[in-house]
Structures are given as C-alpha cells and as structure tokens.
Amino acid sequence: MRVAHITDIHVERVPGVSQCMNKRAAGAVNLYVLGRASHFTRASQEALVAAVVAAEPDLVLCTGDLTATATEAEFLGAAELLAPLRDRFDWLVIPGNHDVYTDESVGRFAKHFGVVAPVRVERRGTWDLVLVNVCHPDWLSRGWLGKGGLGELEAALAAGERPAMVALHYPLRNRHGERYGPATRACSDAEAIEAICTRHARVRWVCHGHEHHGFRTAAPRSGDDLPILNPGAGGYAFLPERGRTAHFCVYELDDSALVGVERQAFGGERFAPETGGAFATGG
C-alpha cells in the first residue's frame, strides 16, 4: 500500500475586519503585517496536488493545517484545491490547530471535511490507521488529547494485533529527539501519547505535521525504536536562499511493516524526490 502524507498547506485568504474580533486578529497581523503570508504560495500548493496525483497513492493522509485562520473563504479554497485528491483517492484528514482557530471554525471544518473524533481507527488492508485529534480552539497554539482521549487511544491500540500507524498534528519530539516545545505551541499530552504508542509493539510508526521544516526522529522502546516522521509543510514557498521549500512523503507498506519512505521536495515549478534520499537535505 502506498500512502501519500501531506500536511500544513495553509490556504490563505485575507479576513475581513468583522472576522478579526478574536484570535484571528493576531493571526492576521502575523500573516499580513509581519509577512508570514509570503511563506506559503499558490504555486507550491497546486504543484503539491499535481505531484500527489502523479504518485498514484492508494491513500492520501492529511495531518492538518489546510487553512491559515479557518475562515469560510479559506475552507472553500482548500476544498477546491484538494478536490482532485479527494475525488480520486482514498482520503483521510485530521484538523490542525489553524483549522480550529476559533470556536466557530470547528463546525466549519466539519462541514467541509467531516466530523473528527478524538481517536478513530480506519482499517485499510492489513493495517489499522489510528487518527488522533489533539487540536482545539485556543488563544495560544497548544494541543491536548485529555484523559478521556488518552483512554480511547490506549483501548484502540490494545484492541487488536494488526500493524498500526498513528497520525496526529503535533510533534511528539523535536528534530533532536528531545521533547517538543515551547509549551505554548506543543501538545501537552505528547509524552503520554508517546508512552501509549511505544507500549504497543503493533505501532510501526507515528506521523505528524505542525512543524513546517520536516524531520525524522524516533522514540526509544525495547526491541526497536519507534520512527516519527514529519514531511514538512506541503504549501511552503520555494525559498532556496533560506534553504526552505515544500515537501510531502510517500510511505510504502507491506502487510506488516513500513518498508520505504520517499520524500519529495518542491523545486520552484514541480516536486521531485529529495536528493540523497528521504530527509537527506532536512528543512
């Protein structure tokens, strides 16, 4: 099975003044006054969709941040952009913190991309794909699963013996293998989620988004370390002077293991496999 993993696309539309009477005001300043909007481009977003179509995966997995400030215009733009993937391939998605930016945006995400449970298990072939939603409206950029959600995750992983993949938006660790931070933009339950995943040997790998500059790390466990993969932002602008560009991953699965990872990078016009192999260039 081939799984294309995309994340952090950040479709942007300038919000109206009436939409900025909440956290979105700070987001709009960050994007359109301080210049973060220039970090994401329509060119890379459209090239991402074309590259995923060309990769012909069996499944497309999106780990959130389809939008920038979760306005209706952004959700409409994201739905239009991603329609070729949703129409052609098996599609699974969880929200990112930017997709539930404000209280009303939770319903907006559900309207355009489907209701999301704290933990849900999707069966594909011999695999269990475990989708974990840790994103909630918050004035900072924090995530959490909560005691109930942690119990659901434990029960879901204890319920079978099939190989499993766990996907969430926030990192469990940073690129150096340390606990991800600062706390203001991390998942407060990351350590507990990792402990559950490492306790169940059937979890073969964890994937996530949120951190725009991709990396590969691992959580230690008895026998074999647990790989943790983040392709990096799929909608990032081509910024060679900063060593930054957009990426996505394609995972190759056999009946019981993750047997291959290809990471593709945006070169200004199109995506191509990363020189030197997956994560060789970092960023």
Domain boundaries, the chain: 2-273
Sheet strands side by side (includes 164-167): 119-124, 127-132, 164-167, 203-207, 226-230, 215-219
Query: Within a 13 Å sphere around the CA of 210, how many CA atoms are in the beta-carbon half?
Result: 29
Helix (H) or strand (E) holding 207: strand 203-207
Determine the pLDDT at residue 6: 98
* CATH number of the 2-273 domain: 3.60.21.10
Quickly list H helices, 92-229: 103-113, 146-158, 190-199
- Provide the mean pLDDT of the chain: 92
The whole-number average pLDDT for the span 132-138 is 97
Tell me phi and psi for residue 62, to 5 degrees. -115, 125
pLDDT tens for 7-40 read: 999 998 755 445 544 555 555 445 544 456 568 9
Rounded to 5 degrees, φ, ψ at 163 are -60, 145
Q: What is the pLDDT of residues 193-219, one digit of tens each?
A: 999 999 999 999 999 999 999 999 999
Q: Which residues contact 13 (CB under 8 A, 6 or more apart)?
A: 68, 71, 73, 74, 77
Q: What is the pLDDT of residue 282?
A: 75
57-to-6, 53, 85, 236 alpha-carbon distances in Å? 12, 8, 10, 22
Distance CA 230, CA 98 (A): 17
What's the Cα-to-Cα distance from 88 to each of 54, 56, 187, 267, rounded to whole Å? 11, 9, 33, 25
For 256, the token pair is: 């019981």
**Interatomic CA distance for residues 175 and 155, integer angstroms:** 29
pTM of the full structure: 0.93
Strand positions, DSSP E, 44-192: 59-62, 90-93, 119-124, 127-132, 164-167
Lookup result for tokens 């952090």:
8
Residue with tokens 């013996």: 161
The residue with greater pLDDT, 223 or 171, is 171
